[in-house]
Structure 1
Amino acid sequence: MERRQLEYFMAVVEHGGFTTAARAMHVAQPSLSHAIRALERELGGSLFHRLPQGSALTSAGEALVGPARQVLRDLSTARSLVREVLGLSGGRLDIVSQTTLAVDPLALMLGRFHRAHPKVGVHVVDPEHSRDVVRMVESGECELGLVDEAVALSDLSSHELPEQEMYVILPPDHPHPQTDTDTDTDTDTVTLSELAGMDLVVTPRGTATRDILEDVCAGAGTMPRIVVETAHRAMIAPLVLAGVGASLLPASMASDAALRGARMLSTRPRLLRRGHVVWRSGPLSPAAQAFVDIAVGQQSRP
């Protein structure tokens, strides 16, 4: 079994057919097909159903996907380690992150990473559900993940990230009382029971902020008053500004909404969340190890 055969196999899996896979790999289709047939002969069974429109994995092919992906990643890690010893730079780092953690703290962490390692390309994946972060790291699709502390980490190694405060954003004309300018209070505040009674703009079930809001409402003994549910997080601030309802966002996203005219409120008591950087046990690629070092160094700063 050769690396090239596994690369061709994964290309067919990812592109759904031999023609598109050959085009993506910049190789003639007969050469790719020959390599796959040789792999099938070696393994003793068909890996793909050849269909009029594309191809589909057989059960044997499905069994090969995970090991093939990990072998290719291990080879890439070995190559990167050798290149690091030789003083070379480059390569790619794949990270999967929940959206709110991607905005903060991942964006700032990647800024520091890029300044230190400008020739390393970074690919960030945004899954729909938080549990998909763990699945994609476990399967080897991504080497690192950023996930909320409430998500079970299975057997993954992890490093805890600094706490984030969550803020409520409201339409500019929302009837919730404004801050009393005669006091020393710098921002509006809202109790959790008041938040539970508001019309809400939410993300789908399984997302971190939705889970927090549902816990808040459960604590108040009520069901969430959801007026809009959307997976398009870029819609949240515009929906709030349009007067649709309130929402819950981490500090950086809430601050951006406030700059656009939304009201930004702290909760009483404060809603805090904490994330983790996660990875599979074992040696990391040099790029991934450098990123983890940045994450550890960020937390140790005063």
Structure 2
Amino acid sequence: MERRQLEYFIAVVEHGGFTAAANALHVAQPSLSHAIRTLERELGGSLFHRLPHGAALTSAGTALVGPARQVLRDLSTASSSVREVLGLSGGRLDIVSQTTLAVDPLAGILGHFHVAHPKVGVRVVDPERGSEVVHMVGTGQCELGLVDGSVSTSDLRCVELPEQEMHVVLPPDHPHPDADAVTLRELAGLDLIVTPPGTATRDTLEEVCAAHDVVPRIVVQTAHRAMIVPLVLAGVGAALLPTSMAADAALRGARMLSTHPRLLRRGRLVWRSGPLSPAAQAFVSLAVPPAQG
């Protein structure tokens, strides 16, 4: 079993077919197909059902996905470790993060990381739900993850990230009194622009509404976070956003108010047990305050 075979196998899994995988890897499809057939002969069974439009995993293929990803991750870590010992730089760091945590604090941490390690390529994946972050780190699809503190991460190593304050963002001409803050009862009564159920911000809003025995007045639900501020500016409704996103909205003309009492969220940085690649270890060192390191 060779590294190349496992890379081709995982590419077919992730892209749903041999042609798409070959295109993504920039290799000829016959070469990729031959490598997969050789792997199947070595393992003694088919890994894929060949379909007219793509490929589906067999039970044997499903069993191989997790170990294959872990082997590739371990090989990458070993290679990075050797390069570091030899005084080389480079490699890649894969991070998965919920969207609001990707904006803050991940973007800022990555800025410092890039200055210190400019030759390390970084890939950031941003699923909506924290459970998906935990799954992608746990299965080896990404080495590090940023997830809301309310999400269970019992099988992963983790450290707490600094607290984030949430702010209410209102349309420029909203009739709310000219004040610096919104009470949580007032927040629960606003026309709201929200993300889908199961997302961290939506969970926070629903907890506030439940505490005041109010059914949230949802005017727009969207998974497209880039729509939220334009919807606020268009007068559609209010939104709850972390400080950095709320401040950007304020620069574009929205009203940014604190909540009373303050709504605070805390994220976690998570990774699997075992050695980290040098790039991941350097990122953790930048992200974690010295008292936690």
* Fold shared, TM-score > 0.5 on shorter chain: yes
Question: SS at 1:115's partner residue?
Answer: helix
Question: SS at 2:202's partner residue?
Answer: helix
- Percent identity, aligned pairs only, is 79
Alpha-carbon offset, residue 238 of structure 1: 1.1
Alpha-carbon offset, residue 298 of structure 1: 7.6
Question: SS at 1:167's partner residue?
Answer: strand
Return the match for 2:238 from 214, 231, 246.
246
Distance in 1 separating the partners of 2:291 and 2:145:
17
Alpha-carbon offset, residue 299 of structure 1: 7.7
Alignment gaps of 5+ in structure 2: none
Structure 1 residues 86 and 292: alpha-carbon distance in aligned structure 2, compared to 1, 3 A threshold: same
Q: How many residues get paired?
A: 292
Structure 1 equivalent of residue 94 of structure 2? 94
Q: Tell me how large the CA RMSD over aligned residues is.
A: 1.3
Question: SS at 1:243's partner residue?
Answer: coil
Which deviations, in whole Å up to 9, do the C-alpha atoms of 1:147-180 show, x marking residues without a partner? 110001121111111111100011111111103x
Distance in 1 separating the partners of 2:260 and 2:27:
61
Spell out the pairing of 1:5-20 with structure 2 (5 A cutoff): 5-20=5-20
Which deviations, in whole Å up to 9, do the C-alpha atoms of 1:186-236 show, x marking residues without a partner? xx1111011111111100011111000000000001111101001111111
Alpha-carbon offset, residue 53 of structure 1: 2.0
- My pick for the range that moved more, 234-243 or 77-86, is 234-243
Alpha-carbon offset, residue 31 of structure 1: 2.6
Verify the 8 A CA contact 1:162 1:299 in the aligned structure 2.
Answer: no
Structure 1 residues 171 and 56: alpha-carbon distance in aligned structure 2, compared to 1, 3 A threshold: same
The code of the aligned residue for 1:139 comes to T
Question: SS at 2:288's partner residue?
Answer: helix
Question: SS at 1:161's partner residue?
Answer: strand
Distance in 1 separating the partners of 2:185 and 2:178:
17
Structure 2 equivalent of residue 115 of structure 1? 115
Distance in 1 separating the partners of 2:28 and 2:38:
16
Structure 2 equivalent of residue 292 of structure 1? 284
Which deviations, in whole Å up to 9, do the C-alpha atoms of 1:81-114 show, x marking residues without a partner? 0010000000110001111111111110000000
Distance in 1 separating the partners of 2:111 and 2:69:
28
Normalised TM-score (structure 2): 0.96
Alpha-carbon offset, residue 18 of structure 1: 2.0
Return the match for 1:256 from 234, 248, 262.
248
Normalised TM-score (structure 1): 0.93
Q: Is structure 2 residue 221 aligned with structure 1 residue 229?
A: yes
Distance in 2 separating the partners of 1:30 and 1:159:
45
Structure 1 equivalent of residue 263 of structure 2? 271
